[in-house]
Chains A and B, each alone.
Chain A
Amino acid sequence: MPPTMDMLRFATAGSVDDGKSTLIGRLLYDSKSIFEDQLSAVEAASTAKGDDYVNLALLTDGLRAEREQGITIDVAYRYFATPRRKFIIADTPGHIQYTRNMVTGASTADLAIILVDARKGLVEQSRRHAFLASLLRVPHLVLAVNKMDLVDYSQEVYEEISEEFTRFADKLNIADLTVIPLSALKGDNIVTRSANMPWYEGPSLLHHLEHVHVSSDRNLIDVRFPVQYVIRPQSSQYPDYRGYAGTVASGTLKAGDEIMVLPSGFTSTIAAVETADGPVAEAFPPMAVTVRLNDEIDISRGDMICRPQNAPKAAQNLDAMICWMAEDALRPGRKLGIKHTSRSARVMVKELDYRLDVNTLHRDQDAQELNLNDIGRVRLRTTQPLLCDDYARNRETGGFILIDENTNRTVAAGMITSAD
Chain B
Amino acid sequence: MTASEYRLTQLETLEAESIHIIREVVAELERPVLLFSGGKDSIVMLRLAEKAFFPARIPFPVMHVDTGHNFQEVLDFRDRRVAELGVQLIVASVPEALDRGLVSEPPDGTRNRIQTPVLLDALEKYRFTAAFGGARRDEDKARAKERVFSFRDEFGQWDPKNQRPELWNIYNGRIQMGENIRVFPLSNWTELDIWQYVQKENIALPSIYFAHQREVFDRGGMLYGVHDVCRPKANEKVFTETVRYRTVGDASLTAAVRSDADTLDKIIEEVASTRITERGATRGDDKFSEAAMEDRKREGYF
Please give the residue numbers on chain A whose beta carbons come within 8 Å of chain B beta carbons, in ascending order. Answer: 1, 3-7, 32, 35-38, 41, 45, 59-65, 67, 73-79, 81, 85-86, 88, 100-101, 103-104, 107-108, 215-216, 218, 220, 228-229, 231-235, 237-238, 241, 245-247, 252, 274-277, 281-282, 284, 286-288, 290, 301, 325, 337, 339-342, 395-396, 399-401, 403, 408-410, 413
Q: How far is the CA of A218 from the CA of B51 in the complex (A)?
A: 25
**Which of B10-18, B97-105, B109-117, B212-220 binds A?**
B10-18
Q: How far is the CA of A409 from the CA of B190 in the complex (A)?
A: 29
By beta carbon, the residue of chain A nearest B13 is A7
Q: B275: which A residues are within 8 A, CB to CB? A: 32, 35-36
- Contact of A399 with B168 in the complex, beta carbons under 8 Å: yes
Q: How many residues of B contact A (CB 8 A)?
A: 70
B53 at interface (Cβ–Cβ under 8 A)?
Answer: yes
Q: How far is the CA of A341 from the CA of B145 in the complex (A)?
A: 24
- Contact of B7 with A215 in the complex, beta carbons under 8 Å: yes
Q: B137: which A residues are within 8 A, CB to CB? A: 76-77, 79
- Contact of B142 with A62 in the complex, beta carbons under 8 Å: yes
B230 at interface (Cβ–Cβ under 8 A)?
Answer: no
Given contacts A288-B15, A339-B170, 9 further A-B contacts (CB under 8 A): A1-B272, A35-B274, A62-B141, A63-B294, A73-B161, A216-B4, A231-B53, A286-B13, A288-B19
Q: Which of B3, B160, B168 contacts A108 (CB 8 A)?
A: B168
Give the 8 A-B residue pairs with the shortest CB-CB distance, closest first. A62-B141, A37-B280, A276-B54, A276-B51, A233-B56, A288-B19, A408-B174, A7-B10
Shortest C-beta distance, B35 to chain A (Å), equals 21
Q: How far is the CA of A103 from the CA of B192 in the complex (A)?
A: 29
- Contact of A395 with B138 in the complex, beta carbons under 8 Å: no
Q: B235: which A residues are within 8 A, CB to CB? A: none
Q: How far is the CA of A372 from the CA of B12 in the complex (A)?
A: 37
A220/B6 contact (C-beta < 8 A), A77-B187, A79-B138, A88-B188 known: yes
- Contact of B167 with A245 in the complex, beta carbons under 8 Å: no
For A35, A341, A400, which residue has the most chain B Cβ atoms within 10 angstroms?
Answer: A35
Q: How far is the CA of A327 from the CA of B276 in the complex (A)?
A: 41
A288/B20 contact (C-beta < 8 A), A78-B144, A325-B165, A410-B165 known: yes
Interchain pairs with CB closer than 8 A, number: 206
B200 at interface (Cβ–Cβ under 8 A)?
Answer: yes
- Contact of A410 with B167 in the complex, beta carbons under 8 Å: yes
Contact string, B257-299, partner A, CB cutoff 8 A, digits 1/0? 0000000000010001011110011000000001100100000
- Contact of A65 with B161 in the complex, beta carbons under 8 Å: yes
A35/B192 contact (C-beta < 8 A), A79-B137, A247-B16, A287-B8 known: no
Q: Which of A3, A78, A247 contacts B169 (CB 8 A)?
A: A247
Q: B92: which A residues are within 8 A, CB to CB? A: none
Q: How far is the CA of A287 from the CA of B3 in the complex (A)?
A: 15
- Contact of A216 with B3 in the complex, beta carbons under 8 Å: yes
For A38, A216, A232, A234, which residue has the most chain B Cβ atoms within 10 angstroms?
Answer: A38
18 contacts between A and B (CB under 8 A): A3-B196, A5-B10, A6-B7, A6-B13, A37-B281, A62-B291, A63-B160, A77-B144, A233-B55, A238-B55, A247-B20, A275-B51, A275-B54, A276-B50, A286-B16, A395-B168, A410-B167, A410-B172
A396/B168 contact (C-beta < 8 A), A1-B272, A6-B9, A37-B276 known: yes
- Contact of B294 with A228 in the complex, beta carbons under 8 Å: no
By beta carbon, the residue of chain A nearest B160 is A63
Interface of A is mostly: mixed
Q: How far is the CA of A395 from the CA of B167 in the complex (A)?
A: 11
Q: A396: which B residues are within 8 A, CB to CB? A: 168-169
- Contact of B142 with A63 in the complex, beta carbons under 8 Å: yes
Q: B160: which A residues are within 8 A, CB to CB? A: 63, 65, 74
Q: B227: which A residues are within 8 A, CB to CB? A: none
Q: B190: which A residues are within 8 A, CB to CB? A: 79, 81, 86
Shortest C-beta distance, A358 to chain B (Å), equals 17
Q: How far is the CA of A76 from the CA of B276 in the complex (A)?
A: 21
Q: How far is the CA of A81 from the CA of B137 in the complex (A)?
A: 15
Q: A85: which B residues are within 8 A, CB to CB? A: 10
Q: B291: which A residues are within 8 A, CB to CB? A: 62-64
Contact string, B183-199, partner A, CB cutoff 8 A, digits 1/0? 00001101011001101
Q: A104: which B residues are within 8 A, CB to CB? A: 165-167
Shortest C-beta distance, B288 to chain A (Å), equals 13
Q: B280: which A residues are within 8 A, CB to CB? A: 35-38
- Contact of A3 with B174 in the complex, beta carbons under 8 Å: no
- Contact of A413 with B167 in the complex, beta carbons under 8 Å: yes
A220/B172 contact (C-beta < 8 A), A77-B188, A228-B20 known: no
Q: How far is the CA of A342 from the CA of B171 in the complex (A)?
A: 9
B26 at interface (Cβ–Cβ under 8 A)?
Answer: yes
Q: A401: which B residues are within 8 A, CB to CB? A: 167, 170, 172
For B15, B16, B165, which residue has the most chain A Cβ atoms within 10 angstroms?
Answer: B165
Contact string, B81-121, partner A, CB cutoff 8 A, digits 1/0? 00000000000000000000000000000000000000000
Shortest C-beta distance, B225 to chain A (Å), equals 21
- Contact of B26 with A229 in the complex, beta carbons under 8 Å: yes
By beta carbon, the residue of chain B nearest A59 is B141
For B9, B10, B26, B187, which residue has the most chain A Cβ atoms within 10 angstroms?
Answer: B10
- Contact of B192 with A1 in the complex, beta carbons under 8 Å: yes
- Contact of A409 with B164 in the complex, beta carbons under 8 Å: yes
For B1, B6, B57, B170, which residue has the most chain A Cβ atoms within 10 angstroms?
Answer: B170
- Contact of A63 with B192 in the complex, beta carbons under 8 Å: no
- Contact of A79 with B188 in the complex, beta carbons under 8 Å: yes
B27 at interface (Cβ–Cβ under 8 A)?
Answer: yes
